Amino acid sequence: MEEKPIRVGFIGLNPDSHWAATAHIPALASLGDKFKVVGVANSSVESARRTAEAMNLPHAFASAEELAHSPEVDLVVVTVKVPHHLELVTTALEAGKHVYCEWPLGNGLAEARRLAELARAQGVVAVVGTQARVAPEILHLKQLIADGYVGTVLSTSLIGSGGNWAGTTSDDLYYLYDARNGATMEMIPLAHTLAALQDVLGGIDQVSARTLRRYETVRVTDTGETRPKTAADQVMLHGTLSDGAALAVHYRGGVSKGTNLLWEINGTEGDIQVTADLGHAQLTQLRVKGARGDDQTLAPLMPDASEYQGKPHTAAARNVAGVYARLYQDITQGSRTAPSFDDAVALHELMDAIERSAR
């Protein structure tokens, strides 16, 4: 019997901008008839109606609660700012709906634990958007390490640029610069990348961290204002992986004229280098090179071209599509392959340990 598409309701979707429209919608479109977007709830009913009309959706819901309780919706996707996750995800879970929530799951560890506990109690599929974990390059790296390409891993080092969190921003993105909102450089690009790193190399066992604010204020370019900045723009940590390998990480705000993502894995038999144009492993194209044995220089070590066939061209949409593909399998087959709320709690625990160490 042919499976019916999973009907998706978005909380936070605008047709001409923002993450949901540029990553989620093309990701879902790439998966054929597995999913069908049926409605939206935004900050106002007028906004929902504009989006529904522009995207030809049958339902513009008056509120998130109305969307969550609609019999026309199977899966609630939450793509709004972090401080609203707890309330909106709770509403969806209590309505018995499957949920896809963007990372960070909660504004801090305590909120994440509450949501994971509720998801378990409700018995639904609850997925968090740590999509770097399903990037073709990350899955390829994981297999290379498992196959012994570098031998025993001795150390790994990571340098990344956050893009934001330096001295200028737009009014729309200013919330990132207030640490109370839970959308800091540590919690977004660093956490996404560390989630992937741990999949490849194993968990982080011990960590010591320090954060700095080299910019105390930020200039808002579209208003001309100078506003306070409480989020860090320099994050440094070192520690060990679960197998004893050394770990060193430095994330910096803004962008560099050099390499904006440089991740190296050094082993007894070889070396792997991963580079990208931004320190967000979840949304940028990763380039993988390697050398082993008698090799004198690094050579391309990318996944086979077949791993990209039929998938979105942009890394951001392609990786989100990878999460949705696993989510579909989990809902229809009862498996648990997509990044779960319990996985999110484990990542929140690591980020909490980093924050406590830095304090």
Q: What's residue 303's pLDDT?
A: 98
Instruction: State pLDDT tens for residues 291-327.
Output: 999 999 999 999 999 999 999 999 999 999 999 999 9
Fold of 6-130+316-340: Rossmann fold (3.40.50)
Q: Is the pLDDT of residue 17 over 80?
A: no
Q: Do the Cβ atoms of 327 and 336 come closer than 8 Å?
A: no
Tokens 């819901």 map to which residue?
Answer: 61
Q: Is the pLDDT of residue 1 over 60?
A: no
Q: Do the Cβ atoms of 260 and 279 come closer than 8 Å?
A: yes
Same-fold call for 6-130+316-340 versus 134-303: no
Q: Do the Cβ atoms of 260 and 276 come closer than 8 Å?
A: yes
Cis check for the bond before 136: say yes or no (omega within 30 of 0).
no
Provide the mean pLDDT of the chain: 97
- Whether the pTM exceeds 0.95: the reply is yes
Residue 54: CB atoms within 10 A of its CB come to 12
Instruction: State pLDDT tens for residues 102-127.
Output: 999 999 999 999 999 999 999 999 99
Beta-ladder partners of 129: 102
3 state DSSP class of 135: coil
DSSP structure class, residue 223: T
Q: Do the Cβ atoms of 153 and 266 come closer than 8 Å?
A: yes
Q: How far is residue 102 CA from its own chain's centroid?
A: 7
Strand positions, DSSP E, 42-148: 59-60, 75-78, 98-102, 126-129
Q: Shortest CA distance to 279 belongs to which of 191, 163, 126, 121?
A: 163
The b-or-e profile of 237-271 (16+ CB within 10 A means b, else e) is bebebeeebebebbbbbbeeeeebbbbbbbbeebb
Distance (Å, whole) CA 243 – CA 241: 5
Taking residues 205-210, what's their average pLDDT? 96
Instruction: State pLDDT tens for residues 18-64.
Output: 899 999 999 999 999 999 999 999 999 999 999 999 999 999 999 99
pLDDT over 70, % of the chain:
99
pLDDT over 90, % of the chain:
98
Q: What's residue 339's pLDDT?
A: 98
Q: Shortest CA distance to 159 belongs to which of 283, 272, 250?
A: 250
Distance (Å, whole) CA 128 – CA 134: 12
Instruction: State pLDDT tens for residues 257-288.
Output: 999 999 999 999 999 999 999 999 999 999 99
**Distances from the Cα of 166 to the Cαs of 135, 226, 228, 304, in angstroms?**
27, 13, 12, 37
Domain 134-303 has CATH 3.40.50.2000: no
Q: What's residue 2's pLDDT?
A: 59
Residue spans per domain, the chain = 6-130+316-340, 134-303
Q: What's residue 314's pLDDT?
A: 97
Q: What's residue 18's pLDDT?
A: 83
Tokens 């956050």 map to which residue?
Answer: 162
Distance (Å, whole) CA 326 – CA 334: 11
Taking residues 63-91, what's their average pLDDT? 98
Tokens 């737009």 map to which residue?
Answer: 170
Instruction: State pLDDT tens for residues 127-172.
Output: 999 999 999 999 999 999 999 999 999 999 999 999 999 999 999 9
* Strand 270-276, strand 287-292: pairing: antiparallel
3 state DSSP class of 252: strand
| Residue 227 or 3, more confident | 227
Taking residues 205-215, what's their average pLDDT? 97
